[in-house]
């Protein structure tokens, strides 16, 4: 194996990916397994998580990241079932059904989204960091934020939650550097999580819905410099970079993988 291939090789590493049953989480789980990691795929949907685990030769478990006790148990079980915990990817997140103008957002919408996107990230970081510190061999935590953290458009609930994830990442990077644990945020741009090939963008101006928030996002997607949505595997490749020795000196960053979205 040449040196650069060794840098990217995750053989012998154990990764836990939350929300790994579909979409970006499935792409991340597949990419980590292709780089050699043993992957625990967790999700609310156990059957779909099991299908991904079978596809990549990993293992699966049911996990609701909003359940603090279940998170503690899941991270400990990852270590006991796979022999350690070296990489945590906090991917589980929700967005559909939580947008819209501020006065239409209910307390329940706000609390539900923040419990998954922020509380869940915190619970998983705390449980995994504790295990990694005790193991004494460093580690990697990768939190899935969004371009919306710095370029809002989906709505106050989601955009605020992803900015919180970005800052939680930086604070933890500062604290955990002394243990050799690198903590970074991935900021996906528009990523196609449905069936089929990611659609091309550009060309025709988007149909206007009249909702300023939705129209802002649609306008930006239409002008996306690379001209197409991302495939989940493109997010997975960036996670392999952040999980591997390729990024040994990288911590506390917010990495847009966005096809040029943030240049707009």
Ligand X SMILES: NC(=O)c1ccc[n+]([C@@H]2O[C@H](COP(=O)([O-])OP(=O)(O)OC[C@H]3O[C@@H](n4cnc5c(N)ncnc54)[C@H](O)[C@@H]3O)[C@@H](O)[C@H]2O)c1
Footprint of ligand X (CB under 6 A): 18-19, 21-25, 43-45, 63-66, 91-95, 116, 120, 144, 146, 188, 190-191, 193
Nearest 5°: the CA angle 134, 137, 139 is 95
DSSP string, 99-151: -S-GGG--HHHHHHHHIIIIIHHHHHHHHHHHHHHHHTS-EEEEEE--GGGTS
CB of 119 to ligand X, least distance (A): 9
Active site residue 254: no
Using CA atoms, how far residue 212 sits from 154, 215, 217, 226, in Å, is: 10, 5, 9, 24
Residue with smaller CB distance to ligand X, 117 or 244: 117
Q: What are phi and psi of 254, to 5 degrees?
A: -115, 105
CB of 84 to ligand X, least distance (A): 22
CB of 221 to ligand X, least distance (A): 9
Q: Measuring CA to CA, which residue among 165, 15, 145 is closest to residue 75?
A: 15
Residue with smaller CB distance to ligand X, 81 or 137: 81
CB of 173 to ligand X, least distance (A): 19
Residue with smaller CB distance to ligand X, 107 or 195: 195
Instruction: Tell me the C-alpha distance between 53 and 68, whole Å.
Output: 23
DSSP structure class, residue 8: H
Parallel/antiparallel/unpaired status of strands 59-62 and 87-90? unpaired
3-class SS shares of the chain: helix, strand, coil, % to 5: 50, 15, 35
Report the catalytic residues. Answer: 158
């Amino acid at each position: 194996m040449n040196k650069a291939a060794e840098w990217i090789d995750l053989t012998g590493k154990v990764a836990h990916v939350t929300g790994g049953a579909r979409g970006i989480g499935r792409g991340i789980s597949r990419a980590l397994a292709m780089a050699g990691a043993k992957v625990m795929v967790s999700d609310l949907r156990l059957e779909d998580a099991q299908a991904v685990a079978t596809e990549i030769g990993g293992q699966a478990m049911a996990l609701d990241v909003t359940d603090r006790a279940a998170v503690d148990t899941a991270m400990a079980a990852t270590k006991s079932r796979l022999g350690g915990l070296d990489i945590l990817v906090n991917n589980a997140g929700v967005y559909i059904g939580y947008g819209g103008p501020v006065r239409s957002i209910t307390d329940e919408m706000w609390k539900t989204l923040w419990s998954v996107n922020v509380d869940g990230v915190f619970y998983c970081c705390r449980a995994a960091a504790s295990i990694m510190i005790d193991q004494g061999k460093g580690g990697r935590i990768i939190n899935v934020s969004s371009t919306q953290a710095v370029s809002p458009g989906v709505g106050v609930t989601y955009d605020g939650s992803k900015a919180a994830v970005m800052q939680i990442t930086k604070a933890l990077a500062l604290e955990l550097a002394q243990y050799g644990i690198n903590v970074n945020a991935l900021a996906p741009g528009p990523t196609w999580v449905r069936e089929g090939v990611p659609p091309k963008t550009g060309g025709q101006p988007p149909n206007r819905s009249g909702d300023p928030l939705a129209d802002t996002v649609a306008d930006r997607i239409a002008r996306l410099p690379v001209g197409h949505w991302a495939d989940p595997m493109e997010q997975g490749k960036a996670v392999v970079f952040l999980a591997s020795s390729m990024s040994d000196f990288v911590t506390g960053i917010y990495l847009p993988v966005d096809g040029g979205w943030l240049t707009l």
